[in-house]
Amino acid sequence: MTHKTRSKRKKSNNKTKKKTSISHSIFNTPKTVYKTSDFNTIKYPQIPIIKYSAMKMVDNMCKASSIKNNRLKRYVKNEYIRRLKLLLKKNPKFKKKISFKLKNIDKISPTKLETTYFHLLDLE
């Protein structure tokens, strides 16, 4: 019986593999996936879970600055930006009331976004 050297030995494939979890599933991708219905008539959007929960948080007036999860915080901030843009488009008089330019709305801190959004909602 001959002893094999280290280079000739078969190397093991016991490498650690990433576990698939809910956070890496299709429902957490930022893009909206369109699925067909059961009868193949209409394609309808399937909103990711994290985006849906961010929309519900904004509906309940939850502040983005108080959220600990960074990924969820980003989605909530984007939702506030989207809704603020819609408010400003609907009422052009509100553009005079905000302290920042509309071009720089993406770079504003979440706390300033929240305060301006809540203030404009009170004025409406």
pLDDT of residue 117 exceeding 70: yes
Q: CA-CA distance, 13 to 10, in Å (whole number)? A: 9
pTM above 0.75, yes or no: no
Identify residue 81 by its one-letter amino acid code: I
Averaged over 37-51, what is the pLDDT? 79
- 57-114 pLDDT, tens digit per residue, is 999 988 888 888 888 888 999 999 999 888 888 888 887 788 777 778 888 888 888 8
Query: What would you report as the CA-atom Rg of the chain, rounded to the nearest whole angstrom?
Result: 24
Model pLDDT, residue 6: 61
Question: Phi and psi at residue 102, in whole multiples of 5°?
Answer: -70, -25
Higher-pLDDT residue of 44, 54: 54
How far is the C-alpha of 59 from the C-alpha of 51, rounded, in Å? 12
- Write down the residue that tokens 């909530």 correspond to: 76
Q: Could you report the per-residue pLDDT of 15-42, keeping only the tens digit for each? A: 666 655 555 555 556 667 787 777 777 8
Q: Three-class SS of residue 42?
A: coil
